[in-house]
Structure 1
């Protein structure tokens, strides 16, 4: 239920104003007519003080966003409501009253307002790109035209759930290596800023020539201590320039391409993106979207500009009359085994089913690689820690050993 303010006329012509609660504007008009009031203007009521405070707090949140979990829950709830025959506007209003996220709540209320003005659901969702990407909007558009809106919401809930599981697997696999790398970096910083200067005073007090390893460590430490503000400034400037370059179209495309070539994890990123492509394209084709339009939708939903351009090139090849498997082979995106599967699917007219199998294939590979990622990175980290200990031993303890030997001798 939402609150509405109205202005109207009584039967005797006198003015009437007030506030009522109803599901939509049509329900308000019906209530007023039953009371003998002819509505002139009906609009959503101004939020009360608590709502205004909540809205202001929401405006302060610069990084406010809607999580994948909330979008999955929203999609499942909408699927249940539409399957039960509840009007879309009523469903949106009802969900908005039960959701705590201010951004999602306000967006659902705006969507309900647009629906009451006669706009289609897919058109309305496209006005909120932070919540609903091109794939989501296209799937809802297909559901509207085919009368299977509940299935569209169900498919998107399943798709988002798979995306969430993949993201969680990647985070779990990289959590330990990142923790170790951060710990090593902190340890090096503490040693460089506090430990080495303390040893330097000891070395200077005894005099004598120090090993070159020790002189290198002391030189690095002196530079860090004396020019720490310059180092921090350069790092901040580099990060700023990188972020600015990353936001440009060319920078975005190059960075997405470089990510796929990272040692150890680049191949995992690449297979994960291919799995997303196959899964997304399978969902699109099963929804009845033409293959050319489907490729255009998928190219914008890849999350990687470089791969998205390759998918767009496939669309151009199909528009020229080439087969799907032929264009995929020319792009070199898939392995020979996957290409055979796609060729069989094209010959049998079951490309959507074969794409689903391809998605399962890549997702299994990604899951296996993620499970083994820690075992691959651990030896590298051990070697890095060993090198750090060796350098410290040579640079710090070697002169102490020589000094001890001299004193004892």
Structure 2
């Protein structure tokens, strides 16, 4: 099959164009005529020089998978066969990388594999949660419903991720700007003032002497400072990459004064949303817990979920091991206990997830409101302090002249 770029006119005499895979030009022309498009220019698609170099290829975004799931659900619900849905979605996909993946998925399904097995070949795009839910949908004949739930779930998770990223981005950018500004002042501005003060012939104020000393220290040791920063970053990543270091740092993250509470609420929202979605889609509770544990994103939470799975396999309820873990609030455990006793655990988990989505919203807003004035004061004190320290000798000289 060869990819062709075509141009033609539709029944309303409007120019339309697109891309199609076919054996030859005549096959493209015949296909366009069947679609009531008057063929115009048809030519083979030019080869991409970097098509075999993954670095230069576009990444498949989470939004691409969400749109794919929603469109697929709509087509299945309309009664279109699975292969035809894949063919249409492949043809209209603009992301080159995702287009190639959809082509391979379609070929796998054509060769007799299930849709879930075809998706499982691309774990970086379709995670274990996605493929397990699709498998449950195929087995139960409710693939359209499962795909709709998956797209809704991913949209909520994307929103949650965006909120947390937004809360972390503001202080990080502000701190980075402060470091850059202070560095520029110490390396380029202070030496000019220090040279000017050397001609004064009088003792400089203590704050000015401190700033001049800091400037000289930074200039004389700038390579060592950069090297130390790189070494600390490398060591931190190595520690986090190790199993023991990962556990310690994740546990510390949950105990942070302000950020810890936000991380805990995000973990609860993610756990309850994922569990509720999987259970309502027909995935067994033990299998769902196994997948949720792997996608928890925090080792402490993952161990707590593992203990829950172990407890359920021994005949215990879900609520008791969750409460014993100390990670999940008692209110959440009580609501889960009610859901278990009434036989509506999936609905209860959904309600908890909705509640904690709002809690995360409020926590992010509170965090932003707290950080903003703190960062402004920090910038004012640091940069303002440097400026005042440099002007003190000038003020002192002006007072002496007066």
* TM-score scaled by length of structure 1: 0.82
Paired position in structure 2 for 1:115: 109
- 1:380 positional shift: 1.1
The 1-side partners of 2:44 and 2:355 are apart by 54
| Deviations, residues 13-48 of structure 1 (Å, cap 9, x unaligned) | xxxxx946999xxxxxxxxxxxxxxxxxxxxxxxx9
| Deviations, residues 187-220 of structure 1 (Å, cap 9, x unaligned) | 2112111121111111111133223322221122
Secondary structure (helix, strand or coil) at the match of 1:205 reads coil
- 1:3 positional shift: 5.2
1:170-181 alignment, distance < 5 Å: 170-181=164-175
Secondary structure (helix, strand or coil) at the match of 1:206 reads coil
1:247 and 2:244 correspond: no
Paired position in structure 1 for 2:391: 397
- 1:62 positional shift: 5.2
Q: Judge which range, 357-366 or 94-103, deviates more.
A: 94-103
In structure 2, stretches of 5+ residues that fail to align are 4-21, 28-42
Equivalent pair of 1:72/1:160 in contact (CA under 8 Å): yes
- 1:103 positional shift: 1.7
Q: 1:265 aligns with which of 259, 269, 283?
A: 259
- 1:398 positional shift: 2.4
The 1-side partners of 2:23 and 2:181 are apart by 64
The 2-side partners of 1:290 and 1:395 are apart by 67
| Deviations, residues 205-240 of structure 1 (Å, cap 9, x unaligned) | 113322332222112211222222232233233323
Equivalent pair of 2:294/2:302 in contact (CA under 8 Å): yes
The 1-side partners of 2:239 and 2:212 are apart by 36
1:54-93 alignment, distance < 5 Å: 56-57=50-51, 59-61=53-55, 64-93=58-87
1:152 and 2:146 correspond: yes
Q: 1:217 aligns with which of 211, 217, 224?
A: 211
The 1-side partners of 2:115 and 2:54 are apart by 29
Paired position in structure 2 for 1:374: 368
Paired position in structure 1 for 2:220: 226
| Deviations, residues 245-270 of structure 1 (Å, cap 9, x unaligned) | 43333344433333333443231122
- 1:365 positional shift: 0.6
Paired position in structure 1 for 2:48: 53
Secondary structure (helix, strand or coil) at the match of 1:210 reads coil
- 1:86 positional shift: 2.4
The 2-side partners of 1:81 and 1:258 are apart by 46
The 2-side partners of 1:159 and 1:221 are apart by 52
Equivalent pair of 2:59/2:97 in contact (CA under 8 Å): yes
Q: 1:275 aligns with which of 260, 269, 272?
A: 269
The 2-side partners of 1:123 and 1:354 are apart by 31
- 1:137 positional shift: 0.8
- 1:287 positional shift: 1.4
The 2-side partners of 1:21 and 1:49 are apart by 8
The 1-side partners of 2:167 and 2:392 are apart by 38
The 2-side partners of 1:393 and 1:325 are apart by 58
Equivalent pair of 1:273/1:302 in contact (CA under 8 Å): yes
Equivalent pair of 1:3/1:22 in contact (CA under 8 Å): no
| Deviations, residues 328-367 of structure 1 (Å, cap 9, x unaligned) | 1111222222222112111111111111111111111111
In structure 1, stretches of 5+ residues that fail to align are 5-17, 24-47
Paired position in structure 1 for 2:186: 192
Q: 1:287 aligns with which of 272, 281, 286?
A: 281
| Deviations, residues 72-97 of structure 1 (Å, cap 9, x unaligned) | 10001111222223232332232122
- 1:370 positional shift: 1.6
* TM-score scaled by length of structure 2: 0.84
Q: Judge which range, 385-394 or 231-240, deviates more.
A: 385-394
Q: How many residues align?
A: 369
